[in-house]
Each structure stands twice: as C-alpha cells, then as structure tokens.
C-alpha cells in the first residue's frame, strides 16, 4: 500500500485516491478534474458534496486556471503566506467542478510548503485535491499507520513520510474579508 511520489502521481493521473502527509495532518488527494475520482474521495470520507474541497499546489501558477484574478492587496497577502501552511478561500472560475467547490463561487487553495506534498503536485503536473484523511467528523489521521487502519481498504495508496510542523489542519482565511474561518 505504501508508494513513492512518482508512482502516486501516476496513480492519481489514472483516477486514484492517495493519502499523503501535509503540514499538519495526512491528506487524501486526487485529480480535481476527474469527477469519478472526486466522487470516490467524497464517498471514502463520507463527506457531503456541498462542503467543497481544498486544492494544494507547489506554486501559485498551478492554481491559475482555477482562480479569478485578485486585488494587489490580496496578492501581497498570498505572497507573504505562500508557500506555507495557510489556506485561502478565493473567488474561482466557473469551470472549477461543482464537486470541488461545493457549489460555491469560491475555492479553498494553498501553496504548500510541505516538501513531499509539493513534490507530489509537481510529479502530478498541477494542483491536487487535499482533504484530511479521515471519515467526516472524526479526527484526522496523523501518520501512515492510522491512515492504513482507518481508510486503507478504500484508497489506492499511502505515501509514508513525516508531517510538517503543525499540530492539526491549516488555518483557513477568506480572501475577500480577511476573516479566519478555521
């Protein structure tokens, strides 16, 4: 079940769902443009489709096709926070699949500073879905062994590597209001 980054990216390109470490928790990821993969990920988590999902990227350019342009002030804030463990809710393109954005005109995004997660985005060739590896309402998995025990039968692979320095999920801010949401 454990897999390296190149094989995980190839698996995701074929519609797979993979668990991988992020800044504070293990994440579940897939190709955000593959509706079957996103639907499967939501089913694994037992997560409502209207909640939306986070996309991670290794650089801002990987998010360009998903987001609308932002003000210079918002861009300055993003430049300060990224790469880093801060997720922003931003206005998104209408072409972002409804399952990814939860039917909203916004999308949660992060340029990750976690080396493994960033290399996974690069190997995949773009942004990936990143939601905590757990069943909705349960605590997130903090290591590969707990992912295996909790979700192993329902996902395709796990990248076994250390988490970043956070002790939980990343904070989330609204780019329009600046308000912290989590």
Average pLDDT over residues 21-38: 97
User: What number is the average pLDDT over the span 162-181?
Assistant: 92
**pLDDT, average across residues 123-137:** 97
Mean predicted confidence (pLDDT) in 116-144:
97
CA distance 78 to 163: 22
Q: Report the C-alpha gap between 83 and 78 in whole angstroms.
A: 9
pLDDT at 166 over 70: yes
pLDDT of residue 156 exceeding 80, the answer is: yes
* Average of per-residue pLDDT values in the chain: 96
The full set of domain ranges for the chain reads 5-132+140-174
What does the pLDDT read at residue 1? Answer: 67
**End-to-end Cα, the chain, rounded Å:** 32
Q: Are 24 and 170 in contact (CB under 8 A)?
A: yes
Residue matched to tokens 């094989």: 7
19 SS3 class: strand
Name the band, by pLDDT with cuts 50, 70 and 90, for residue 10.
very high
Q: Are 99 and 42 in contact (CB under 8 A)?
A: yes
CATH of 5-132+140-174, one of 3.40.50.280, 3.30.950.10, 3.40.50.10140, 3.90.870.10: 3.90.870.10
Radius of gyration over every alpha carbon of the chain, rounded to an integer in angstroms = 15
DSSP 8-state assignment for residue 168: S
Which residue intervals of the chain are DSSP H helices?
5-13, 35-45, 72-81, 98-101, 115-124, 144-151
Mean pLDDT value of segment 52-71: 97
Check: CB of residue 60 under 8 Å from CB of residue 39.
Answer: no
Q: Report residue 177 CA to chain centroid gap.
A: 22
H/E run at residue 66: none
Query: What is the pLDDT averaged over residues 143-155?
Result: 97
* % the chain with pLDDT above 90: 93
User: Could you tell me the pLDDT band of residue 168, with boundaries at 50, 70 and 90?
Assistant: confident
């Amino acid at each position: 079940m454990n897999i390296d980054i190149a094989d995980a990216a190839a698996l995701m390109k074929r519609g797979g769902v993979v668990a991988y470490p992020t800044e504070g928790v293990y994440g579940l990821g897939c190709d955000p443009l593959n509706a079957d993969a996103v639907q499967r990920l939501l089913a694994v988590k037992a997560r409502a489709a209207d909640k939306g999902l986070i996309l991670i990227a290794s650089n801002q350019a990987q998010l360009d096709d998903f987001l609308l342009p932002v003000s210079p002030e918002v861009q300055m804030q993003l430049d300060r926070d990224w790469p880093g463990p801060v997720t922003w809710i931003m206005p998104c393109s209408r072409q972002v699949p409804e399952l990814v954005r939860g039917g909203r005109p916004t999308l949660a995004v992060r340029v990750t500073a976690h080396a493994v997660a960033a290399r996974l985005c690069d190997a995949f060739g773009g942004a990936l879905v990143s939601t905590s590896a757990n069943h909705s309402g349960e605590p997130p998995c903090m290591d590969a062994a707990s992912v295996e025990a909790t979700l192993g039968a329902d996902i395709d692979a796990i990248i076994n590597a250390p988490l970043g320095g956070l002790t939980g999920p990343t904070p989330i801010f609204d780019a329009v209001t600046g308000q912290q949401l989590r």
